[in-house]
Amino acid sequence: MSILLFILLLVLFIINVPIAVALGLSTVIIVFLTGSIELSTLPHRMFTTLDSFPLLAAPFFILAGKIMEHGGISDKIVEFASSLVGHFRGGLAHVSIVACMFFAALSGSAVATTAAVGALMIPSMVKVGYSREFSASVQAAGGTTGVIIPPSVPMVMFAVSAGVSVSDLFIAGIIPGIFVGVSLMVWVYIYSLKNNIKSDEKFEFKRTVRSGLSSFLAILMPLIILGGIYSGIFTPTEASVIAVVYGFVIGKFVYKKITSAIMKKILLDTVVVVSTLSIIIASASFFGFYITIERLPHEIASIISEFNLHPFVVMLVVIIFLLIVGMFIDEISAIIILTPILLPIVTAVGIDPVHFGVLMIINLAIGLLTPPVGLSLFVASKVGNVLPEKMIRPVLPFILIMVLDVVLLYLLPQLSVGVMKFFS
């Protein structure tokens, strides 16, 4: 019946039924036909899944990201990033990626990162000689760090789905997030060499200090949040509330960008996102409960164990599978649906759950650059005023680099799990 469940789910996806409805409806139909679970457990299961203290961090981090997006800090972050790397060959393209990395640590959202930084950087890059297509592609790729560098909403969702510590996942994601950002900058440098794009800027220490002080309060937020979590002062959920309060205070009273009208829009946008996310989580919980009762993940893990496959081969298959999934399903939905299935498989071959969580999030983040569901691609195309199909060729090298990043980070668990154990 598990196979029939996935066939039914696939059919519902193909006819464009919303993910939340497809998950719930397919599971209810199969349970009704088999009678393996009492239907009365459905509402109870959905409620208890949402009644989770760690899960409460997700809506508050989403709200904090919205506040940061509208709080007037993107221009200050861009100026600081420019003072740090603007003198490199490739200049503004490097600035764009570094600014995205800084903003990622504030917003936890790829879409917010792409939109906020892209509005400033894409026009500037076009002015100095980059094509509009490449400029938008750089921004889309840099925007993916929004879900890779902690604090990250997908990390919270994986931690809740996998039953691992949110704090451990946050700390394990820091170095891999920076690693991905630097690897994107390597391609920018190569592209700049090939196309003879130079930078007219020179490094000025005074400018770096001045812009650093100007953006200090914004950059301080992730240090307070992550430092407080790792030092045990507060939990990730409590940190998410602090992020909201801190972001509101500097956006309202320091940068003075948040008005009553803007705050109303922020709250409405947050409610829409959180409501949608909650319905997906609730539906996916019953779906995951059914396949767990049917022992599907454990059966797959047993089959793989019988073949005695090398962990690298298993991980390579998972990477390819997640690349395909990421093209059609958004990251959070994919995490909620697939974590109960994939986690027993990878742990059976000795892969650490936290390490796999970092790899899964980066792997699915690549889907933000691939149509038909590539949100970063479409946001960058809209901000950059360029057709998405014209971005496919310039964005492809960034996709290949991120795939290579996933493989390298799998082979170098010290960069994620090693750092986590060091701080623990």
Q: How far is CA 119 from CA 187, 369, 382, in A?
A: 22, 18, 10
Give the model's pLDDT for residue 119: 87
Top mean pLDDT of 40-54, 280-294, 395-409 is at: 395-409
The mean pLDDT of 310-333, rounded to a whole number, is: 90
Give the model's pLDDT for residue 281: 85
pTM: 0.88
Neighbours of 6 (CB within 10 A): 14
Q: What is the DSSP letter of 253?
A: I
**Whole-angstrom Cα distance, residue 249 to residue 367?**
34
Closest by CA to 319, choosing from 369, 358, 372, is 358
Q: Of 232-241, 277-286, 319-328, 350-359, which range is least confident?
A: 277-286
**Whole-angstrom Cα distance, residue 166 to residue 186?**
30
Instruction: Give the pair of three-digit tokens for residue 277.
Output: 């996310």
Give pLDDT tens digits for 1-21.
667 888 888 888 888 888 888
Q: What is the DSSP letter of 391?
A: G
Q: Per the omega criterion (within 30 degrees of 0), is the bond before 372 cis?
A: yes
Q: How many helices (H) and strands (E) does the chain have?
A: 22, 0
Q: Of 63-67, 83-87, 105-109, 255-259, which range is least confident?
A: 105-109
Q: What is the DSSP letter of 372?
A: T
User: Would you list the DSSP string of 58-101?
Assistant: HHHHHHHHHHHHHTT-HHHHHHHHHHHHTTSTTHHHHHHHHHHH
Of residues 142 and 303, more confidence is placed in 142
For residues 261 and 311, is the Cβ–Cβ distance under 8 A? no
Q: Would you give the end-to-end CA distance of the chain in angstroms? A: 43
The mean pLDDT of 73-80, rounded to a whole number, is: 84
Neighbours of 269 (CB within 10 A): 15
Give the model's pLDDT for residue 169: 94
Q: Mean pLDDT for the chain?
A: 88
Give the model's pLDDT for residue 372: 75
Residue 31 has pLDDT above 90, yes or no: no
Residue 306 has pLDDT above 80, yes or no: no
Q: How far is CA 79 from CA 106, 175, 216, 268, 354, in A?
A: 16, 24, 12, 30, 35
Give pLDDT tens digits for 174-226.
999 999 999 999 999 999 988 888 777 788 899 999 998 988 888 888 888 88
**Whole-angstrom Cα distance, residue 322 to residue 307?**
22
Give the model's pLDDT for residue 1: 63
Q: Please, which pLDDT band fits residue 171 given cuts at 50, 70 and 90?
A: very high
